[in-house]
Amino acid sequence: MYDIKALYEAHSVDEAIKLRLEHPDAQILAGGSDVLVQIREGKRAGKELISIYMIDDMRGVTLCDNGDIRIGSLTSFSHITKNEIIQKYINVLGEAVDMVGSPQIRNIGTIGGNTCNGVTSADSASTLFALDALVELTGENGKRVVPIADFYIKAGVVDIKPDEIQTAIIIPKEKYTDYYGHYIKYAMRNALDITTTGCSVNVKLSEDKKTFLDVRIAYGVAGPVPMRAKSAETYIKGKSVSEENIKEFSNAVLEDVNPRDSWRASKALRQHLCVELAYRAIKECVSLAGGEL
Amino acid sequence: MAQYKLVKFTLNGKKVEQMVDVRASLTDMLRNDYRMTSVKKGCEVGECGACNVLINGECFNSCIYLAVWADGKEVRTLEGLLGENGELSDIQQAFIDEAAVQCGFCTPGVIMSAVEILESGRDYTDDELRKLLSGHLCRCTGYENILRAVRKTLDKRLGK
Ligand SMILES: Cc1cc2nc3c(=O)[nH]c(=O)nc-3n(C[C@H](O)[C@H](O)[C@H](O)COP(=O)(O)OP(=O)(O)OC[C@H]3O[C@@H](n4cnc5c(N)ncnc54)[C@H](O)[C@@H]3O)c2cc1C
Ligand code: FES
Ligand code: FES
């Protein structure tokens, strides 16, 4: 039995917003793989919950008329990985969320929960940063959309107003077209382990595959929230595809990242990982894009 | 104040309904109201897979799944694999034949993951199987015999 004070169930987004306004102290429950575990641990015990898990309209991936990809916030990790639109246009996201926990966790865990928890190690987050994803929130007065980088306020805190829930993640067409992405999760075990440091890179090469037109690189666990390494991005833009340039690019990330010591890993190991993962990830992207090093 | 809700769902092919405390996990409901004791309480935080069941054909750790969410769904547990007269299914027999069971605590959960794999109707490499079974902790067998039991049953079903 869970220590829950009261459970309110929403079956539509409108119902969820109404419940949010009626019960300002209640917490949102999606798949519950963070929330229910924290209730067991006592951290969130005795609270009121608004369950949104039964809102089926919030599940699924769609290719919009304008070419943007819209992922409903309740879409599970396994359904993202298996989805044909994801596989065709942003396979890197499907691969990244296929590294979460275990098969059972990937069936219950949602992309909404993975971003709303505000956690730096969340396996979808760095890839969403590297894709310049947008977050759609729905409240009393309709929808608003914020860039994912602005959605994160600080560790564990995201920009959700008291009447809102997150309803979708959107990947704009111009952010994925002609980009090739790769995510590396570094952890101590292959399954059921939290990321020590994760790195996601997106690369767009020139038509002759010799120049970096654009590169976006983002990290999990290189700071209190997921982050981009902008200095490294600026360095590599317009440069030629060469071993020397990607080495410089990888070293440049140290100007941006700010990992800390924790019981999982030291700051020094994480800095080393930031450089090494950047190098390996961009190399893989170049190869996916048809370039040569 | 206790809060109850009527939940209607399909359990191992049979339509059932139950008034359930909204604070109950699906493990609680399956064990206490339906005596489905194959569903084990191991860690109760989603890490070990001992409570694993199939919901609409996919594996879920029932310890971190609210009982009320079962409403309208199709839930399957190990008990549903037995034949009319209690005969074991091929995958259960394979676990015995390959000595993939020692204390047996993890076994029902692992077998339900195996069922999802087998029912997908496709083949997998050993590495893929390892990944698909990685949501289970077994403190006895060392996993090799479990992998072999799943491999052999998969090969048989695919006529290999
Ligand atoms: C055994 C185990 C292993 C795990 N391994 C990993 C791992 O390897 N990598 C990883 O990244 N995570 C891992 N997790 C954490 C968890 O599975 C993910 O963070 C998952 O994405 C959470 O999604 P959920 O739907 O279960 O969220 P919930 O637990 O329901 O919610 C998480 C948070 O987000 C809020 N929330 C959820 N949805 C919304 C919404 N639509 N609008 C507003 N607020 C919302 C909730 O209020 C809560 O604060 C693991 C968890 C377990 C139990
Ligand atoms: S008891 Fe449910 S995963 Fe361990
Ligand atoms: S047989 Fe004992 S835990 Fe697996």
Q: For residues A95 and A103, what is the distance between their CA atoms, to the nearest angstrom?
A: 13
Please state, as a whole number, how many other Cβ atoms lie within 10 Å of the Cβ of residue B66.
29
If you classify domain A180-288 with CATH, what class do you get? Answer: alpha beta
Q: Is residue B1 scored above 80 in pLDDT?
A: no
Whether ipTM tops 0.90, in short, is yes
Instruction: Please give the CATH number for the structural domain made up of B90-157.
Output: 1.10.150.120
At the topology level of CATH, where does A4-51 sit? 3.30.43
Q: For residues B15 and B89, what is the distance between their CA atoms, to the nearest angstrom?
A: 22
Rounded mean pLDDT of B61-71? 98
Instruction: State whether residue A60 is helix, strand or coil.
Output: coil
Residue A144, pLDDT score = 98
Atom of ligand 1 nearest to the CA of A35: 29
Where does chain A hold its CATH 3.30.465.10 domain(s)?
Answer: 59-172
Rounded mean pLDDT of B36-48? 98
pTM above 0.90, yes or no: yes
B46 and A101 within 8 Å at the Cβ level: the answer is: yes
* Chain A residues with beta carbon closer than 8 angstroms to that of B65: 32, 108
Q: What angle do CA B76, B121, B134 make, to 5 degrees?
A: 65
Rounded mean pLDDT of B57-69? 98
A37 in ligand 1 pocket by Cβ < 6 Å? yes
B89-111 core/surface letters (b: 16 or more CB in 10 A; e: else): bebbebbeebebbeeebbbbbbb
Where does chain A hold its CATH 3.30.43.10 domain(s)?
Answer: 4-51
At the topology level of CATH, where does B4-78 sit? Ubiquitin-like (UB roll) (3.10.20)
Q: For residues B49 and B113, what is the distance between their CA atoms, to the nearest angstrom?
A: 9
Q: Does A43 touch chain B (CB under 8 A)?
A: no
Distances (CA, A) of A114 to A76, A134, A192, A233, B90: 10, 14, 15, 25, 38
- Flag residues of chain A having pLDDT under 50: none
Helices (H), B84-143: 90-97, 107-119, 126-132
Residue B2, pLDDT score = 82
B89: tokens are 């299914």
Residue A237, pLDDT score = 98
Distance from CA of B133 to the nearest CA of A (A): 8
Tokens 């949010």, located at residue: A20
pLDDT tens for each residue of B103-114: 999 999 999 999
B61 and A9 within 8 Å at the Cβ level: the answer is: no
pLDDT tens for each residue of A75-110: 999 999 999 999 999 999 999 999 999 999 999 999
B135 in ligand 2 pocket by Cβ < 6 Å? no
Report the CATH architecture of A59-172: 2-Layer Sandwich (3.30)
Residue A263, pLDDT score = 87
Rg (CA), chain A: 19
Atom of ligand 2 nearest to the CA of B44: 1
Q: Is residue B98 scored above 70 in pLDDT?
A: yes
Q: For residues A36 and A263, what is the distance between their CA atoms, to the nearest angstrom?
A: 24
Q: Exposed, middle or buried by CB within 10 Å (0-12, 13-18, 19+), for B17?
A: exposed
Domain ranges in chain B? 4-78, 90-157
Beta strand segments in A177-248, E: 180-186, 197-205, 212-220, 227-228
Half-sphere CA count of A171, side-chain side, radius 13 A: 24
Q: For residues A64 and A31, what is the distance between their CA atoms, to the nearest angstrom?
A: 26
pLDDT tens for each residue of A215-251: 999 999 999 999 999 999 999 999 999 999 999 999 9
In residues, how long is chain A? 293
Instruction: State whether residue B154 is helix, strand or coil.
Output: helix
Cα four-point dihedral sign A146, A23, B68, B47: positive
Rg (CA), chain B: 16
